[in-house]
């Protein structure tokens, strides 16, 4: 699975986003250690607080299917760089503190490490796990 293929899957997920309130579709593709890709999109709700980000949608799909380790996540949007929100950084850190994060928008691509996006993150090792 190349970065380009993973990014293409994230872009493809833009079409599945349910975003009647923000009109800001986001797609994600999370690559597990075993090569399986779990996709997600943002799913908004009239009760705004119930909105799910694309990254956490993909993560919950993956974990519920038995995946526990991940190498890379690709995230796609339009108009601005879709680096993960704070809640998603924390959720991803739980399973993959060394995760590579690829973001794409309007033909641009940027890369970062989750450990740089969430320095000194709180995770299982913080609780001695």
Q: Which residues of this protein are in contact with Zn ion, per CB under 5 A?
A: 53, 85, 88
In angstroms, what is the minimal distance from the CB of 112 to Zn ion?
15
32 vs 101, beta carbon nearer Zn ion: 101
In angstroms, what is the minimal distance from the CB of 54 to Zn ion?
8
In angstroms, what is the minimal distance from the CB of 84 to Zn ion?
5
Looking at the chain, which runs of residues are DSSP E strands?
27-32, 37-41, 70-77, 100-105, 108-113
Out of 4, 12, 44, 55, which one is annotated catalytic? 55
Helix ranges, 1-129 (H): 3-13, 54-64, 86-95, 114-117
The DSSP bridge pattern shows strands 100-105 and 70-77 to be: parallel
Please confirm, yes or no, whether 65 is among the known catalytic residues. Answer: no
Q: Looking at the annotation, which residues are catalytic? A: 55
């Amino acid at each position: 699975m190349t970065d380009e293929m993973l990014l293409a899957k994230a872009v493809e997920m833009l079409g599945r986003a349910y975003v009647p309130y923000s009109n800001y579709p986001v797609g994600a593709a999370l690559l597990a250690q075993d090569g399986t890709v779990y996709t997600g999109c943002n799913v908004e709700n009239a009760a705004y607080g119930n909105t799910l980000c694309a990254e956490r949608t993909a993560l919950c799909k993956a974990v519920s299917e038995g995946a526990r380790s991940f190498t890379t996540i690709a995230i796609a949007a339009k108009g601005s760089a879709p680096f993960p929100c704070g809640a998603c950084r924390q959720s991803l850190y739980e399973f993959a503190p060394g995760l590579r994060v690829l973001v794409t928008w309007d033909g641009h691509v940027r890369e970062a490490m989750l450990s740089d996006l969430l320095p000194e993150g709180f995770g299982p090792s913080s609780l001695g796990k």
